[in-house]
Structure 1
């Protein structure tokens, strides 16, 4: 058999969204993977565990023998068929296992034997790709100049950032809006997946002299922002976006009420509104301690009234006083306290049109 192709150019893989076969077991894939990757296994979780035990107790040769015993006949044919289907649909793709060793070599070999196709495998596998992304995040952040946009809750920072290409949308990558009400209708990525996707975005944007970030804390929901990004963005020029309370109310109504409710219903037509109501009630409960019991109970009453009105009359206006109170009495004092510590970094302040015009100088 000829020597089959290996890939060492990881930048090209991620820059071009090359589709990948991840031949690891499902338990490994769930812990961390990459975008545009499909988990098409050589071994399932039980087989992997059994072979691992055999390797520890009896050595590599016995473990390989057991592997061929477990993955043969119909099981082997089904797994090869799944790989060949992927290869047919993604002729420019590649495959990997954990270290680029035996599992991906076997998969590559079986694909070749079944089809004559030399489908490349990635040198060093998942471990090498993961290490590469961590190192690239650090290298690129040292190289680029970040610009940070801040502003009060609901002022439309994300909407503004979406008008530019040279941005890193940390909240989008974390699938969270970065507050007690920041959950979306779907779960956040694992920390590893968040870091992987973030690194890939940086690789794609690394030729920009400036990258625009939103002002964030150390964490976005359950995801931690890598330290090298925190260090650079906390030293960066800060641009403040101004918006009236009315504008902020409308942005927040769209994001946290209208769109959120629609998204819950799209996801589950039967229980969508109940899930939306639960989102509001659990989010409010998260800030109960900060609000104090009296304020919390008053707001809870308003939220329940707003939910009833929305469900029974399709009228969302009951949320306006709730959101206004949260913005003005809860979020604004916290923002005012935090922004005072950063005023020495502020280089520009203005409304959406003015900030948009200013930011174009960094595009």
Structure 2
């Protein structure tokens, strides 16, 4: 017989052992929000869930249960087979620990696979996320990677994370790069999914002396950074990265690859061109139509992004700013690490 476990027990298992958590809800539900790190093995597809739900509303609970059982019976071998490929302890969950997770756990258990079921499902997890954010408890210092658009802040953060530095990637959690073009080529996350990933990261680095985070607006795409974390970030040390224009243009072209999304790139520009001096906006418009992306990006930086960033940078106290000037990305990475050694010598040397 499968075992019901609480969310706290599941979180402890995730921390102490290699544990697989499986979301048995439909793919659409899973993509909207889930427990970070979970795998989706759905009891019903999106269409099947809609069919069963309609029966429940229009006919009744029993009719819905019978149809659900018929659907599940037809796919049992494939469903169980996916569980048999997992060689770690397993916990399944659905929306609130109801019929879907109970059915999945029962079927898998009957096939001799040991499994737990999460009490309260995703709803219990969501309630925990909200309570964690309401505590406004995040002790580590924040060191902010700042600088003009195109200075490779996200790439530098990823390189530092690979070296073992504590990093919270807000743009990665948001599924957005933080600019008017930031949605192109990526899939935006919901506020719930963003908060779930953020709480997990805050929990992971709760006892770290510092964490690295990118300079962001309060809003990133469709999501909003919690006020307490945003305020702390704004009051923290700012590492302002300064790279030559040529390098910045190359970084942007590498990140966004506008030639793969020309229509989206043009549509995004169309939303901001009224804020750019008319002759320059006209030139950018022509460059985008002719796929002259190098010049278009440089003009966008010079006449749109850089003036906005200069205004923002002037709001930070001088004592909070550390300049990181380099000719290329590799040099910037070295200088950032040197600055972190000065600020946190014992912590950095122990990485």
TM-score (norm: length of structure 1): 0.79
**Structure 1: tracts of 5 or more residues without a match:** 56-62, 265-275, 308-317
Match of 1:45 among 31, 35, 50: 50
In the other structure, the counterpart of 1:334 is 308
**How far apart in 2 are the matches of 1:356 and 1:39?**
42
**How far apart in 2 are the matches of 1:143 and 1:127?**
27
Q: Does the 8 A contact of 1:148 with 1:213 survive in 2? A: yes
Pair 295,36 (structure 1): closer, same or farther in 2 beyond 3 Å: same
In the other structure, the counterpart of 2:230 is 230
In the other structure, the counterpart of 1:315 is none
In the other structure, the counterpart of 1:350 is 324
- Describe the SS at the equivalent of 1:72: helix
* Residues 241-285 of structure 1, C-alpha deviations (whole Å, 9 max, x = no match): 12222332332233234xx54xx4xxxxxxxxxxx2213311211
Q: How does 1:134-283 map to 2 (within 5 A)?
A: 134-137=130-133, 139=135, 141-165=137-161, 166-257=166-257, 261=259, 264=260, 276-283=261-268
Is 2:83 the partner of 1:87? yes
- Cα RMSD between the aligned structures? 2.7
Pair 53,143 (structure 1): closer, same or farther in 2 beyond 3 Å: farther
Q: Does the 8 A contact of 1:22 with 1:29 survive in 2? A: yes
**How far apart in 1 are the matches of 2:151 and 2:28?**
41
Pair 28,117 (structure 1): closer, same or farther in 2 beyond 3 Å: same
Report how far residue 157 of structure 1 moved.
1.6
In the other structure, the counterpart of 1:295 is 280
Report how far residue 126 of structure 1 moved.
0.8
Pair 3,187 (structure 1): closer, same or farther in 2 beyond 3 Å: closer
In the other structure, the counterpart of 1:320 is 294
Pair 242,78 (structure 1): closer, same or farther in 2 beyond 3 Å: same
**Structure 2: tracts of 5 or more residues without a match:** 326-331
Q: Does the 8 A contact of 2:142 with 2:211 survive in 1? A: yes
Report how far residue 138 of structure 1 moved.
5.2
Pair 102,82 (structure 1): closer, same or farther in 2 beyond 3 Å: same
Q: Does the 8 A contact of 1:18 with 1:93 survive in 2? A: yes
- Describe the SS at the equivalent of 1:143: coil
* Residues 57-116 of structure 1, C-alpha deviations (whole Å, 9 max, x = no match): xxxxxx2x334322334x232343344123212242211122223432233223223x13
* Residues 276-297 of structure 1, C-alpha deviations (whole Å, 9 max, x = no match): 2213311211211211544322
Q: Does the 8 A contact of 2:143 with 2:212 survive in 1? A: yes
Pair 252,106 (structure 1): closer, same or farther in 2 beyond 3 Å: closer
In the other structure, the counterpart of 2:100 is 103
- Describe the SS at the equivalent of 2:243: coil
Is 2:285 the partner of 1:285? no
* Residues 23-69 of structure 1, C-alpha deviations (whole Å, 9 max, x = no match): 334554343223432041256222134325667xxxxxxx2x33432
Match of 1:68 among 49, 65, 69: 65
Report how far residue 332 of structure 1 moved.
1.1
Deviates more, 1:229-238 or 1:2-11: 2-11
Pair 194,3 (structure 1): closer, same or farther in 2 beyond 3 Å: closer
**How far apart in 2 are the matches of 1:162 and 1:359?**
16
